[in-house]
Amino acid sequence: MQIADFFRLEWLQFIRAAYFQKSLALKILIGFLVLYFGGTAVLLGGVIYFIAKKSAPDVDPLVTVNNLLVIWVAVDLLLRYFLQQLPVLNVKPLMTLPVRRNKVVRFVLLKSLTSFFNILPLLLYIPFTVVLLANDYDPIQTLAWFFGMVSVSFSINFTNFLINKNNTFFYALLTIVALGVGLNFFSIFDPRVFAGQCFYAFFDKPYWVVAPILVMYLLYRTNKSLLLNGFYLDDMVSKKVTLAEDADLSWLKHFGPVAPFLENDIRLIRRNVRPRQVLLVSFMFLFYGLIFYTQDVYKEIPTILVFASIFVTGGFLMTFGQQVPSWDSQYYKLLMSQNIPYRQYLNAKWMLMVFGVLVSFLLSFPYLYFGWDIFAMIAAGALFNVGLNSFITLIGGALNRTPIVLNEKAKAFANTSGFNPTQLLIGLPKIFLPMLFFYIPYRLISFDAGLICIALSGLLGLAFRSQFLSLIERIYIKGKHKTIAAFAQES
């Protein structure tokens, strides 16, 4: 078996994946998305030189960019940690075939380099390098810098697998990061400046490029030996077995007939990787406001702030809610052959989403720092989320038939649920309705009138709760067989 054979298998896996065989519209949408992200990276790589030159005319733009790159590197690592998984499980069928372990492991690691996460930095660095060359930077130095940065990206790639698979590495990295933050806090040492200098060194003294390449190679070796040692069914290749913790959920019985569903949902979130990921993403949504409330530009256009406020409390509601029947896709046949009233099922999910909004709202109290206006806006947004957004999201979810593998991380671009055209269409009102509700009375009457209007829309939605649930119920009943068939397909 040659490396080429592996790639052939991978190619077949890629083009025959369930998500790839979906409708043309979906393929086009995915294509657009890839183009969008790729295009943004290329564009950024092309113009950042000039932006840097303009914002700091006295400094070499390469120095400015290098100082910024550490943020990119940090975000890169963070995103990878949550989204990128080493595809070791795929090697199981190869274990009994006459292929050397060494070869399989090498392939798994090399293949990981073709992930979108490694292509994206290339799309950024290549145009930037071209611009540098066009601006008469020394070709050898520039190329050294380019290879240095690519090695850094690939090192992150391998670091991610180490911290993902091995707690020792995870805590080691965490300690380093904490140390950096701490030293920065006491102004002893600025890791940002240090990283900037390191990156600039690749250019300044091109022989330094050996350092990141060496680091990359060492990380690769560590990964390789770790994988080789763990190349057994009961080790790396297998999934971890966890014992169920005995959380007392009996208090849920006060919720009556909805209780068994709530109980299940809580266990779903606690015991599976994917829902926990969603929980984390929704926590990050809490900080969404910081991006907008801190900018003076937006003070003049509060309609944009409404948008941010919806996201502050709506993170969990939207990320969990838009996949509502999909969470149960792995055992949907069971649910459909049991005596389950859709109403109770939906009610349980709705209550969970509302609970998510309430918790987010409580956690958003620190936004009081930005003043009452902002806080009132968040509160009004929370009401909109509870009363209207929850139902809109559930309708979107009902139309979403992408199965979810609960105990595996989401793969970037493997999960097409968010790109479902109908869902996108339904997603629009989530964003624009509250802005509209605010904008019209704000323009005609006042800021407060706008907020009241958002809040009222939420209350009105609550009043029509049972109508909304009936509507969603009908969608469920109508699409039942389609949903069962779609969920039966392995994603």
Q: Summarize as ranges the residues that interact with other proteins (CB under 8 A).
A: 239, 241-244, 246, 259-260, 263-264, 267-268, 271-272, 330-334, 336-340, 406-407, 480-481, 484-485, 487-488
CA 450 to chain centre: 32
Nearer to other proteins, 205 or 333 (CB): 333
- Output the smallest distance, CB 331 to other proteins, in A: 5
- Output the smallest distance, CB 236 to other proteins, in A: 16
- Output the smallest distance, CB 487 to other proteins, in A: 8
Nearer to other proteins, 187 or 338 (CB): 338
Buried b (16+ CB within 10 A) or exposed e, 61-85: bbbbbbbbbbebbbebbeebbbbbb
Nearer to other proteins, 183 or 268 (CB): 268
- Output the smallest distance, CB 486 to other proteins, in A: 12
Nearest to 74 by CA among 168, 175, 161, 191: 191
CA distance 162 to 169: 6
Nearer to other proteins, 136 or 246 (CB): 246
Buried b (16+ CB within 10 A) or exposed e, 105-127: bbbbbebbeebebbbbbbbbbbb
User: Quick count: other Cβ atoms within 10 Å of Cβ 32?
Assistant: 12
Nearer to other proteins, 100 or 239 (CB): 239
Nearest to 143 by CA among 62, 231, 209, 91: 209
- Output the smallest distance, CB 57 to other proteins, in A: 58
How many Cα atoms within 13 Å fall on the side-chain side of residue 424?
10
Nearer to other proteins, 8 or 478 (CB): 478
Nearer to other proteins, 204 or 263 (CB): 263
Q: What one-character DSSP code corresponds to residue 18?
A: G
- Output the smallest distance, CB 325 to other proteins, in A: 14
> With contact defined as beta carbons under 8 Å apart, do 117 and 35 qualify?
no
One-letter identity of residue 448: D
Nearer to other proteins, 100 or 240 (CB): 240
- Output the smallest distance, CB 349 to other proteins, in A: 15
Nearer to other proteins, 58 or 246 (CB): 246
User: What residue has token string 């990921």?
Assistant: 277
> With contact defined as beta carbons under 8 Å apart, do 352 and 428 qualify?
no
Element (H, E) at 171: helix 167-185
> With contact defined as beta carbons under 8 Å apart, do 160 and 84 qualify?
yes
> With contact defined as beta carbons under 8 Å apart, do 189 and 183 qualify?
yes
- Output the smallest distance, CB 176 to other proteins, in A: 34
- Output the smallest distance, CB 395 to other proteins, in A: 22
Q: What one-character DSSP code corresponds to residue 294?
A: T
Nearer to other proteins, 268 or 290 (CB): 268
CA distance 137 to 109: 34
Q: Is 41 exposed, middle or buried (0-12, 13-18, 19+ CB in 10 A)?
A: buried
